Structure 1
Amino acid sequence: MSKYLFNDDWSVRRKVSGFVDLMGGAASKKVTLPHDAMMEFARSADVPGGASSAFFPGGEVEYTKRFDVPAEWRERRATIEFEGVYRDAMVYVNDEFAGQWKYGYSVFRVPLDAHLRYGQENVVRVEARANQDSRWYTGLGIYRDVHLVVTPLAHIVDDEIRITTPDVDDERAVVESAILVRNESAVTRRLSLEVEVRDATGAIVACDRGPVTIRPHATTTIRNRLYVDDPLRWGVDHPHLYDFHARLHDEDGTATHEVHTAFGIRTIRIDPRHGLRINDEPIKLRGACIHHDNGPLGAATIPRAEERRIELLKEAGFNAIRSSHCPASPAMLDACDRLGVLVFDETFDAWTEMNKPYDYTLDFPEWWERDVDAMVRKDFNHPSVILYCIGNEIHEYGSGFGGSLARDIAERIRLRDETRFITTAVSSFWAVAGEVIGDLKNRLADATARGVNDVMNEMTEFFDEVTVSDVVTVRTAEAHAAADIAGLNYAEARYAPDAVVFPNRVVLGTETNPRVTAQSWGATIAHDHVIGGFTWTGWDYLGEVGLGRTDYTDDPEIRGGGDPEFPWLTAWAGDLDITGFRRPQSYYREIVYGLRREPYIAVLRPQHYGRRRLEMQWAWSDAVASWTWDLPSGARAEIEVYSDADEVELVLNDRSLGRSPAGPSVDFRTRFDVAYEPGELVAIAYRGGRPSERAALVTASDRVLVASADRSRIRADSGDLAYISVEFRDEHDVLNSSEDAVVHVSVDGPGELVALGSARPATDERFDSASCTTFDGRALAIVRPTSEGQITVTVHSPGLADAHAVIAVGGV
């Protein structure tokens, strides 16, 4: 192998001018990459980024690493690969400019050879900056993995191996490879290239070998066509992977360079009659939009964090993710390959019309082709990737210029990859905003006097009218035609008419609102040309704060609905919160998808009973699955029960509180208004008049501090993590969410506490502290291993016995 992880022994500091640096500059800190420097900045109410950035300030940082370069590297080639630097990365080697990359989400490489001092210590320095350049929290710095790539002068270009499976049946699969070989020496080289396909056990199932003559300073492509008998196909239920090995041999038969990559054997097809088919089996995409941050870790893309997110999203019923609104990390794609989750990878959130003062529009005209190429190069061998998106809610989608540019981007992708499909993500409103914004302002002016809920209803009605309007149909037709699939944000109302107006159009719900899950999924199932939908969002995220919040007021006149104020931190719009715990809407979605038979009980926070609710557009019910509340006798509570049954009966302490219709006729959700009484609350589903499944909530009897790790053993490398759930439970393991408290975490052994926090959507607590306040009885600690051995995590909360979690490190 010639590619090495290059994450250790970096230092980071705030970037200052040369004059300030002469006076001492800023202090540096030792870090292990991936690292998000913004997590260490102080949030405040008056930062320029405001609610979009979760009230984190922008800034500039520089990373430095010292490393030895052996003298024998003179006869090799050295390159540094960054999987992602946010943003405007400038790379220096021994204080000489070596390269740059503007976009914060692209994998890029910088050649080192011209700047190296052989047989000596060398220094690489990376500068990055972020400031008012995004609609969400971006993080700052080298937030994804870094690799050092050292190759012989004649070598395989490891990031240009392309494997396809164009012809597959049950008997055999054709595996075609295109391998770039480069000769950077001054003489012609006569080599041979050996290729192998290995199955999951390591057995060779196909191979070939042939001569390669390559002239000085030349690059050539070698193609092979292999045949795998009885292929195991990659799919969401059986994500079978193969390993492709390519090995260069010198004239004497000595192996000089070897690379390998995982791939999958699968086929994908679309048409408006059968929708999407993978391996000839129809499938509807149950999709989750996700942002790139990892909650308490900030933007740091530690591989285990990406893997855990995919594990939990799949457990919650999703079979696909959308990388909103930027290319996904290689670590996330690896996880999706292994776990069987489909990927919709997205390019940009803007083209030439800005969303924020210093966003990607400043770089788009010069850089978009390189960034498209980088995304496709990263994705090509990942079987999980089935869709590319050319841009999200692009303002230009509704113009002739936008249609032309849509074709340019789509054709650039096709030039690099014809094996996958291309989609759009069109907001009907933004595509025609110039024509309709005046009407909207007038209608909102009338609704504002009536309050935030009326404003939200008015906006929803107006958007629905615009969505199905002729102006949208005409103005977006060219952009949609540039792609293979028409991607529609919040436009379920177009599904039926589009089937008539555009009989050859395949449609995807690229964003759907959780408030209308039943309707949007029903429309998806009802139409063959609609291949699925992606909810906003599958996982809560930092920034765009409060768009899914619920405010309360006792004043019937208050309008509310303004921008959330500091210390709001998260959007509060995910099926799963930022720590990975499922919220009630996640279980509701599972029922709507037909994946869960048991009813689910959620209790609207009873301390707000009777108050006026001001629900934002992406808000779900402000509910908790708990029957443990500190309430006076006789206090009222509203109960929601989600079920696909005909009816649901609610029983409190063996007393029936009545039955209510459930299932699709009431959008799978029914409500009860009850007097709170500790004990057991049971929901019983009835099908055909007979009781079937049931679910229960039980009042916690006491309060014990519990710490539990997600795995008992982890790897002894910095790409792994241990997630420790910190909870208050009783002796019967019932969660006690009635009283939150501060918890303190300490780590003994070969590990370090890298993040601690809760899912509380508005807080001024930091994630890099050793203490935090629980939320609904829970918090989460994240520990990173430093070597082999045993880690002991101790959690303390005043007045309770300490809790411990033990994790073995190594041997995995």
Structure 2
Amino acid sequence: MIRKSFNEGWTVAPKKTLYAVLAGGAPSRPVRLPHDGMRDLDRDPASPSGSRSGYFPSAHLAYEKTFDVPAEWRDKTVAVEFEGVYRDAMVYVNGDFTAQRPNGYSPFSLTLDPFLRFGQRNVIRVELRAHDDSRWYTGAGIYRNTWLGVADPVHIPFGGVQVRTSDIERDLAVAAVHVEVANPLRHAVTVRVHSEIRDAAGRSTSRSSIPLTVLPGEPAIARLRHYVTHPQLWDVDEPSLYSVQAVVTDENGAQLDEAAATFGFRTVQVDPVNGLRLNGRTVKLRGGCVHHDHGPLGAAAIDRAEYRRAEILKAAGFNAVRSGHNTISPAFLDACDRVGLLVMDEFADVWTESKTSHDAALTFPEWWERDIEAMIRKDFNHPSVIMYSIGNEILEVGRPLGSAWGRRIADKVRSLDSSRLVTNAVNGLLAATDLLLGTSPTDEPFDINVILSKDGVSAFGASELVTRRTEETHSQADVCGINYSEARYSLDAQLFPERILVGSETFPGALDVLWELVEKHPQVIGDFAWTAWDHLGEAGVGRPVYADDADQPTGLVSPYPWLLSGAGTIDITGRRRPISYWRETVWGLRTEPYIAVHRPQFHGRQVRLTAWSWDDALESWNWAVAPGSPIVVDVYSDADEVELHLNERLLGKASVGAVRSCIARFETAYEPGTLTAVAYRDGLEVGRASLRSGQGDLRLVASIDRDRIAADGTDLAYVEIAIADESGTVANEVEALVSLRVDGAAELVGFASARPDNTEPFGSDAHTTYEGRVLAILRPTRPGRILLTAEADDLPSTSVSVTAVAEG
């Protein structure tokens, strides 16, 4: 079925009761999809989800779209596909109930034919709600792409083309193209199904066609076998993609329908000797977990936002991502295919036991099979997807009947896609929740205060009790997902030498210890830090807490107005934080030293870091403190030792690793000027880096990611605005309210800083800088020139332009 975007022309309004509508109506406003209707709601300290959602409120929204249905469509099949509606979607066409989907992350499609009024205007309405249903910010809305398809009754349904690759050799590979054909007519039809494979350059590499008889009401699958010579393999370094075009014709050769798909040739193998092999080459997964929100955009999964995130993650040294808690968007999978990121796509955060009051456990027993089918259908052709995670820290996995659920889910996945690995992200501590709650009649009690320490969680995860309780669950997986229990790596090498392990969720600042274990044990195939990208909700879990802070957290719960997790190695605007450069150094990907300076205004104050925190430091030598103030300077390096120079004066030399792996630490005094770190290995200089203080007048500086963008609804322009001097040194301690004006063919769809406890809304046209910076996001409304002007009190204004171009 040929898809056309169905993203334009929608409105959204708070869902009102009939009586409220009669009393005064419900105001609506126009929106373009993908859209998050929760992002612009007022945050509330009394929100039922509290810090878990970043203090965003519950939402009950109604989206509507009016569209023309030509009379000639009466003899067609008309369908709509939603890639994601959060949550408990109810769909109505012309006022009549049409479909529902409880899971907010599952794509679903529906045939509109019985509900349409042909030759008239029609109305589709989608109602949804979100209320205390997750441990993170979810958003609420039609937040992923929507598609309309119109085809002859005999047609290829959405997702009806799947490509199975096999027998991949240097000179030849097999691509079995499976084309599903639906027939809603009252009689059988015989059609001919054609398929053609093209390489990345658009050259045809293989063609095939076969006849197919399709019975009424019974979809049939045409299986066309292609042989591709000298296949270009998809790999993280060279992500080569192929496309397939499928066409259905009638007995006279007239075209009935067509559909296309993208795929790649690659092999994935695991064993305890070689670990994970991609195309025969052992690869260790340098992974990070990601949430589905996009910070300033909320949960809206606009194509460019997904691609930009994949680009930045890859540039920061990641070669793999795990979709924390839920299945990933098709747009992000497309981006991972193109950029070269390996994907662990996660199915669910709960099965049958709830973690919050109104979460997905309420509908899981009835809907889980359909949700699995939707995930596999979505992922099947993406070469980036190498592994399915069937759950994250599922509470049932430590009990026999919970393990039985795991077996059902794993078997269902394998029945639909036997080509990919299956894992389950198991937290050994949560596998003993009945012990935590004191409801276990068999196991011995334990000291919870000891276990909840950073080292205690890992040690408990390697205990005999957890070993026994999780053995059946781990036996169901091809790869055993280990959350926060690296103590299992060496243990399982002895107890279960056949096991393949992956650190499915780990503390980001522990990478030096973790990566040594990953490289030591071939059966440990990689590490996924929590998290690679900062996110909304789970507010403050990664914040450094100073003893005299006025807003002390309770456990890991930070009070309002905390908004962000603070655990990401990349912040919500897409800037790499210092920990990102340290991790890149530990991975062995970076030789240039990186200078991270602890904030001098907090020097000497007692600080408590959570297990997800990193040092409160910045890449800056531009501080509003008096000369001579004490200051701590860290230099991240893989060298033996580092010299630190200030204004060409040697301050000292420090060994790398004395305080922490890949770090040389200096205690010195602040003095404006130029700070230079020089790294040495075996007495020879291997790299240097410098920071300088600001000089002269400050101004606003704007930079845009590209000067031409597409005006097709899928693209965005990202504009970074900083307060800096003439040489570009950012005044990271200067806060200024920046106001924006957008002229021309675009709208401002997001404006934010990376401040973790911000109260300024993302939908505003004014925002205060944090660490000297803000980020603006523009979305084209039509082809043409776009001009953004930024202003702030006592600073010269600045402008930047971009051109939005039509397709083709």
Please give the TM-score of this superposition, normalised by the length of structure 1.
0.96
8 Å contact from structure 1 (residues 157, 179) kept in 2: no
Distance 1:187 1:378 in 2: 30
SS in 1 for 2:714: coil
In the TM superposition, 1:700-779 aligns within 5 A as 700-702=694-696, 703-779=698-774
| Counterpart selection for 2:641 from 647, 651, 658 | 647
Give a deviation string over 1:311-362, Cα, whole Å, max 9, x none. 0000000011101110000000000111111110000101111110000111
Aligned residues of 1:518 and 1:664 also touching (Cα < 8 A): no
Q: In structure 2, give the amino acid aligned to 1:198.
A: R
- Amino acid paired to 1:531: I
Is residue 354–residue 361 contact of structure 2 (8 Å, CA) maintained in 1?
Answer: yes
Once the two structures are superposed, the pairs formed by residues 537-616 of structure 1 within 5 Å of their partners are 537-554=531-548, 561=555, 563-616=557-610
Residue deviations 1:750-780 (CA, integer Å, cap 9, x gap) = 0000110100000111000000001101100
Matched, 1:341 2:337: no
Q: Deviations over 1:187-234 (max 9, x none)?
A: 332321111001122211001112223233332111111100110000
| Counterpart check, 1:171 vs 2:171 | yes
- Residue 215 (str. 1) matches residue 215 (str. 2): yes
**Residue identity opposite 1:420 in structure 2:** R
Structure 1 unaligned segments of length 5 or more: list them.
445-454
Equivalent residue of 2:326, what SS? coil
Which position in structure 2 is the counterpart of 1:535?
Answer: 529
1:89-128 correspondence runs (5 A): 89-128=89-128
Asked if structure 2 preserves the Cα contact closer than 8 Å seen for 1:165 and 1:173, the reply is yes
Structure 1 residue corresponding to 2:485, chosen from 491, 498, 503: 491
Instruction: Give a deviation string over 1:378-424, Cα, whole Å, max 9, x none.
Output: 00000000000010001111111111111100000011100100001
State the distance in 1 between where 2:148 and 2:445 align: 54
Q: Give me the whole-angstrom Cα distance separating, in 1, the residues matched to 2:138 and 2:179.
A: 35
> Following TM superposition, by how much is the alpha carbon of 1:744 offset from its aligned partner in structure 2, in angstroms?
0.5
SS in 2 for 1:19: helix
Distance 1:153 1:433 in 2: 52
Matched-pair identity in %: 47
TM-score (norm 2): 0.97
What is the distance in 2 between the residues matched to 1:123 and 1:398? 48
RMSD: 1.7
Task: Confirm or deny that 1:801 pairs with 2:801.
Answer: no
Structure 1 position 411 matched with structure 2 position 411: yes
Secondary structure of 2:197's match?
Answer: strand
2:236 is matched by which residue type in structure 1?
Answer: V
Tell me the amino acid that sits aligned with residue 574 of structure 2: G
Deviation at 1:664, TM superposition (A): 9.0
Contact 1:440 1:462 in 2 (8 A): no
1:799 Cα offset (Å):
1.1
Cα distance in 2 for residues equivalent to 1:352 and 1:51:
24
Q: Distance in 1 between matches of 2:116 and 2:179?
A: 28
Instruction: Return the match for 1:692 from 686, 693, 703.
Output: 686
Q: Which amino acid aligns with 1:205?
A: T
Report the CA distance between 1:4 and its aligned residue. Answer: 1.0
Verify: 1:132 aligned to 2:132, yes or no. yes
Deviation, 1:699, is 0.6
Aligned partners of 1:285 and 1:522: how far apart in 2? 13
Q: Which whole-Å CA distance do the structure 1 matches of 2:324 and 2:215 have between them?
A: 44
CA distance in 2, matches of 1:555, 1:12: 40
- TM-aligned CA distance change 1:114 to 1:629, over 3 Å: same
Distance 1:347 1:218 in 2: 29
Aligned letter for 1:99? Answer: A
Kept after mapping to 2: 8 A contact 1:569/1:762: yes
Letter in 2 for 1:484: D
Residues 645 and 663 in structure 1, CA contact (< 8 A), matched pair in contact too: no
Cα deviation for residue 663 of structure 1 reads 4.9
CA contact under 8 A between 2:325 and 2:347: conserved in structure 1? Answer: yes
1:291 aligned residue: 291
Question: 2: CA distance between counterparts of 1:552 and 1:750?
Answer: 46
SS at match of 1:40: coil
Q: Which moved more, 1:247-256 or 1:408-417?
A: 247-256
- Aligned ranges for residues 217-236 of structure 1 at < 5 Å? 217-236=217-236
Aligned mate of 1:462, from 456, 459, 462: 456
* Residues 467-482 of structure 1 aligned to structure 2 (within 5 Å): 467-482=461-476
Q: CA deviation at 1:288?
A: 1.0
Structure 1 equivalent of residue 778 of structure 2: 783
Q: Which residue of 2 aligns with 1:448?
A: none
1:733 partner amino acid: G
Structure 1 residue 459: Cα displacement: 1.4
For 2:248 and 2:731, the matched residues in 1 are separated by: 61
After the TM superposition, which residues 247-396 of structure 1 pair with which residues of structure 2 at under 5 Å, given as runs?
A: 247-396=247-396
The equivalent of 2:441 in structure 1 is: none
Contact persistence 1:643–1:663 (CA under 8 A): no
Contact 2:518-2:527 within 8 A present in 1 as well: yes
**Shift of residue 430, structure 1, vs aligned partner:** 0.5
Task: Give distance in 2, aligned partners of 1:656 and 1:197.
Answer: 63
The one-letter amino acid of 1:519's match is V
Spell out, residue by residue over 1:674-722, the C-alpha distance to the aligned partner (whole angstroms, 9 max, x if none): 1100001111111002222011111111322111111110001111000
Q: Displacement, 1:736? A: 2.0
**Deviation string, structure 1 residues 6-46 (Cα, Å, up to 9, x no partner):** 00010100001111111122200000011101012101211
Which range moved further: 348-357 or 184-193? Answer: 184-193
> Deviations 1:130-179 (Å, cap 9, x if unpaired)?
00000000000111111112121111224132211111101111111211
Q: What SS class does the counterpart of residue 685 from structure 1 fall into?
A: strand
1:450 alignment partner in structure 2? none
The structural deviation recorded for 1:563 is 2.5
Give the Cα–Cα distance (whole angstroms) in 2 for the partners of residues 521 and 695 of structure 1.
25
Contact in 1 for aligned 2:321/2:528 (Cα 8 Å): yes
Cα distance in 2 between the residues matched to 1:560 and 1:47:
16
**What runs of 5+ residues in structure 2 fail to find an aligned partner?**
439-443
* Counterpart contact for 2:81–2:158, Cα < 8 Å: no
For 2:350 and 2:11, how far apart are their aligned partners in 1? Answer: 33
- CA separation in 1, counterparts of 2:362 and 2:738? 45
Deviations 1:26-80 (A, max 9, x none): 2000000111010121012111110001000002000000001111111111111
Deviation, 1:811, is: 5.3
Output the amino acid matched with 2:690: A
Counterpart Cα distance in 2 of 1:373 and 1:625: 46
Distance (Å, rounded) in 1 between the aligned partners of 2:350 and 2:188? 46
CA distance in 1, matches of 2:693, 2:311: 30
Q: In structure 2, how many angstroms separate the alpha carbons of the residues matched to 1:414 and 1:334?
A: 23
Alpha-carbon separation, structure 2, partners of 1:736 and 1:34: 35
CA contact (8 A) 2:641 2:664 kept: no
> How far apart are the structure 2 equivalents of 1:559 and 1:365?
36
Preserved contact between residue 191 and residue 212 of structure 1 (Cα < 8 Å): yes
Once residues 301 and 583 of structure 2 are traced to their aligned partners in structure 1, the CA distance between those partners, rounded to angstroms, is: 27
Alpha-carbon separation, structure 2, partners of 1:79 and 1:705: 49
Task: Tell me how far 1:239 sits from its aligned partner.
Answer: 0.5
Runs of 4+ in 1 over 6 A off after TM superposition: 437-441
The one-letter code matched in structure 2 to 1:282 is T
Give the distance between the partners of 2:806 and 2:155, measured in 1 at CA.
33
Residue 796 of structure 2 aligns to a residue whose secondary structure is coil
How far apart in 2 are the matches of 1:99 and 1:579?
37
Q: Residue 629 of structure 1 aligns to a residue in which SS?
A: coil
The answer as to whether partners of 1:327 and 1:346 remain within 8 angstroms in 2 is yes
8 Å CA contact 2:598, 2:615 repeated in 1? yes
State the match for 2:805 in structure 1.
810
Compute the displacement of 1:238 (Å).
0.5
Q: Give the Cα–Cα distance (whole angstroms) in 2 for the partners of residues 116 and 430 of structure 1.
A: 49
| Counterparts of 2:691 and 2:152, CA distance in 1 | 64
Q: Deviations over 1:553-602 (max 9, x none)?
A: 3599x997563111100000101000000000000000001110011111
Q: Secondary structure at the match of 1:525?
A: helix
Counterpart code for 1:388: Y
Contact 2:275 2:523 in 1 (8 A): yes
